[in-house]
Structure 1
């Protein structure tokens, strides 16, 4: 089992297609098919089952995906550790949507200009899935709001190194037509527009609204801050976002804004993952 074969297998699994995997890898389809077949023969296990025009992982393939993620991540970490004179190679970064938009453009541009041999990959998501991806070696590090939902009681037990980098002030957006809110009991909406479960900001807003309403709010799950604010402006619900995102808006809608307090953003990574690339990223983040 070699690393190239694992990389090809992982790409086919991600794309669900030999054709798309070959395009992404810059290889001939026949080469990709042959390498997957050789891997299956060496393992004595079928890794893919054809369903219609696509490929689906078999139970054995599902197991191998996790090992492939860890082995490929460890190999990249080893390459960087051996050549530790300067940041190079690949660094897979996870970040919340708001962090990517409001906090990362300048640091990542500075990082790329200073270390052109460093290949940066950025993936956005909610805090809890990002933490899970770091633990599963699908990401090298992530910028997350702390603590992520469901991990409040497990913070000390998590195999994660954590470094505070930002502090965000959270805002609850209310329709302009909503009566003034002087205290939580003045809230007259029972629906919150927010990202899917796993978002720390959503949990903070849900907790505040539950205290105000005496019951858990309904949640309208949306995929972007623009959509969240559009629903709030329509008078349907409240919404939650960090103040830094509001400051990015060229013409913020005429809404009411309630202060929900501060929430720290931490850079998390696996203990022992202390590569020059990670050190360079942290230095770039601290410059702002």
Structure 2
């Protein structure tokens, strides 16, 4: 069974005539007859009841037609999505939690307004998880912490994040890693790029974090810090978006540790019309200072 057979079957079922269907699919009638018979042999059922020069669907043919039309319809939709001028269809997008919460609502809303046929599927997680999902094809693109180093990926920097240490309100000044030597830290799992950045900041200054508590959300980290249980590292934009952010002390990392770029990445050679339109919108908003 192949797509051509299904298209031929649909044409015959909808026209009720081999001759009319042959004209519709630009084939000779004998070719359609042979292909339909082969399809019936593969399925092991008669799809048509032959009556003189007319064909009408059997009970099995009616059931099969519903599936055949759905299959060919999905194929047509896929062709339009890949080759069409206007983006449409499913856009599977991954993102760091902080970017999804603070940076993406406005561009996603504008993209949906501009291209209403787009259906977003947004997934959040640490950079390592997002990169793996892009590489295996389950995500079309993802927002991750840069720089981009993987040979199978392309991408562009889209946002700059100021990284700050969040400490209890009465904490002593944190101007370098040795000021936090041995303190408990709240962070995401080990494949989180921000966690690796925080650990590298410690080690570069000859210091070590205390126990690292793995959390699932920035809100959980902030609650622990407010309670005086340790430190956390997060983008300033994320911190300022949360209630109670004024109940902690905030210390920007110094020097080259202070800023990190968020990149939009995709598999090399997989820049689809939808993804191209999305990157264009992000560039447009960035140039406008939005």
2:262 to 262, 265, 284: 265
Structure-2 residue corresponding to 1:236:
229
The whole-number CA distance in structure 1 between the counterparts of 2:174 and 2:118 is 49
Which secondary structure does the structure 2 equivalent of 1:266 belong to? strand
Matches within 5 A, 1:83-122: 84-122=84-122
Stretches of structure 2 lacking an aligned partner (at least 5 in a row):
4-74
The whole-number CA distance in structure 1 between the counterparts of 2:251 and 2:113 is 39
1:76, 1:90 within 8 Å by CA — same for their partners in 2? no
Which secondary structure does the structure 2 equivalent of 1:273 belong to? coil
Which secondary structure does the structure 1 equivalent of 2:199 belong to? helix
Q: Deviation at 1:280?
A: 1.9
Structure-2 residue corresponding to 1:52:
none
Which secondary structure does the structure 1 equivalent of 2:174 belong to? coil
Q: TM-score of the superposition, structure 2-length normalised?
A: 0.66
2:159 matched to 1:166? Answer: yes
Which secondary structure does the structure 1 equivalent of 2:119 belong to? strand
Q: TM-score of the superposition, structure 1-length normalised?
A: 0.67
Q: Deviation at 1:135?
A: 0.2
Residues 177-226 of structure 1 deviation map (CA, whole Å, 9 limit, x = unaligned) = 32222433222552210111211111111122334563354210001111
Residues 100-151 of structure 1 deviation map (CA, whole Å, 9 limit, x = unaligned) = 0100001001111111111111000000110000000010100000248xxx
Residues 150-183 of structure 1 deviation map (CA, whole Å, 9 limit, x = unaligned) = xxxxx2x520001111111111111123222243
2:192 matched to 1:199? Answer: yes
**Which has the larger Rg?**
2
Q: Deviation at 1:78?
A: 5.3
The whole-number CA distance in structure 1 between the counterparts of 2:78 and 2:272 is 7
The whole-number CA distance in structure 1 between the counterparts of 2:2 and 2:183 is 55
Change beyond 3 A, Cα 1:2–1:220:
farther
2:186, 2:213 within 8 Å by CA — same for their partners in 1? yes
Q: Deviation at 1:228?
A: 0.1
Change beyond 3 A, Cα 1:129–1:76:
farther
Change beyond 3 A, Cα 1:129–1:147:
farther
Structure-2 residue corresponding to 1:133:
133
